[in-house]
Structure formats: C-alpha cells, structure tokens
C-alpha cells in the first residue's frame, strides 16, 4: 500500500500507462469473486491502516507535532464532465473514481519532524517508538480546497472545505 483515498493528480513513473477499463473491470471481478485475493487485499488494507498509519498519527498527535506544507500548491482544472451544483455554486466538475471535483487548489502536508523522541528515563526510547518517530514525516495528506466555497462548513448541503483527499505513505514517492 502506498496511498489511501482519491489522488486526483497522481505522479506516475516515467513511461507508465494507465490500465484500460476492461483491465480495471477484470481486477474488480477477481476481487469480488476470489476469496483468497479478497483476503489478501483486506489484510494489506488493515495492516497499512493499523500498523502503519494509526501509530504514526497517534505519535504525531500525542507529541503535538504540527502539519507543515510539502512542495508547492497545485491547481486542479477539471475536465468538463458535468456542469452542476456543487456546494453553493454551479460549476464544471470532473468525475474521478466515482467522485466529482471542481476547480481547486491542492496542497500536500506532513507532520513536522521532532528531534526529541520521548523515552522511558530508565530504558531509553523503545524500538517501536523510534520507528514510529522516524516514519511520522513519511505520512503525507493531500488537501483539496475550493476557493469559491465557504471554509469548514458543517451545515447540511455544504461541503467540508478544505478536505483531505488522500493519505500517502513514504513509499508513494518511490513509484
């Protein structure tokens, strides 16, 4: 697992090609019909969430680490798949992975690394804590911000803005 969520501006390796609709359909059919494959996917997802992401989040939050920008802001200009009401305004939307996205700004953030690892005063930091501390900066979140919509609305019918679209693990950059 290298990421969770909808990465609307993925960075693909050089010379890579997208899979066809038929290949995607074949993969989905195999996942839905093959118990062994389904079990492997579920195992990979639960391992990534509960052994990779969750301990890093726990450490970052309990340590009071703040989120800092990574890279530059990216503009997302949707293909004109649908003109419809989204949030408070009508706008052009692009459908990606079953969701619709408007013209927006995207920003990756990561937890600021901390040089002080909390430790047991008698035994020093545990190996588990050292590993979690070292990997907390590898966790990146992509925020989606629609500049024409209000910020962080909790009213029914309004979107959360900005919102996290994707969580990327350190291995994401290797692909």
Query: What would the pLDDT profile of 17-66 be if each residue is shown by its tens digit?
Result: 777 878 888 888 888 898 898 888 888 888 888 888 888 888 888 888 88
What pLDDT does 171 receive? 57
What pLDDT does 12 receive? 65
Determine, yes or no, domain membership for 3. no
Total structural domains within the chain: 1
Please check the confidence at residue 130 and state whether its pLDDT lies above 50: no
* Cβ neighbours for 157, distance < 8 A, ≥ 6 positions apart: none
Give the burial string for 40-77 (b: 16+ CB within 10 Å, else e). eeeeeeeebeeebeebbeebbeebebebeeeeeeeebe
pLDDT level of residue 76 (50, 70, 90 thresholds): very high
Distances (CA, A) of 133 to 3, 114, 166, 173: 19, 8, 21, 19
Determine, yes or no, domain membership for 136. yes
Single pTM value for the model: 0.71
Please check the confidence at residue 79 and state whether its pLDDT lies above 50: yes
Determine, yes or no, domain membership for 41. no
Determine, yes or no, domain membership for 77. yes
Please check the confidence at residue 169 and state whether its pLDDT lies above 80: no
Determine, yes or no, domain membership for 116. yes
Determine, yes or no, domain membership for 147. yes
Determine, yes or no, domain membership for 15. no
Please check the confidence at residue 114 and state whether its pLDDT lies above 60: no
What pLDDT does 145 receive? 93
Determine, yes or no, domain membership for 20. no
Range in 32-36, 122-126, 160-164, 169-173 the model is least confident about: 122-126
What range does the domain containing 115 cover?
A: 66-174
Mean model confidence pLDDT for the chain? 79
**DSSP H/E element including 7:** none
């Amino acid at each position: 697992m290298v990421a969770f969520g909808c990465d609307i501006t993925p960075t693909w390796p050089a010379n890579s090609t997208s899979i066809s609709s038929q290949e995607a359909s074949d993969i989905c059919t195999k996942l839905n019909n093959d118990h062994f494959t389904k079990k492997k996917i579920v195992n990979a997802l639960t391992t990534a969430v509960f052994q990779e992401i969750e301990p890093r989040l726990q450490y970052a939050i309990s340590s009071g680490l703040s989120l800092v920008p990574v890279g530059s802001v990216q503009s997302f200009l949707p293909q004109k798949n649908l003109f419809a009401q989204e949030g408070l305004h009508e706008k052009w939307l692009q459908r990606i992975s079953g969701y619709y996205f408007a013209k927006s700004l995207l920003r990756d953030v990561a937890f600021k690394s901390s040089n002080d690892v909390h430790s047991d005063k008698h035994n020093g930091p545990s190996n588990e804590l050292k590993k979690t501390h070292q990997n907390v900066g590898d966790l990146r979140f992509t925020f989606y911000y629609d500049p024409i919509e209000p910020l962080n609305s909790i009213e029914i019918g309004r979107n959360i803005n900005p919102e996290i679209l994707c969580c990327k693990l350190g291995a994401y950059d290797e692909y």
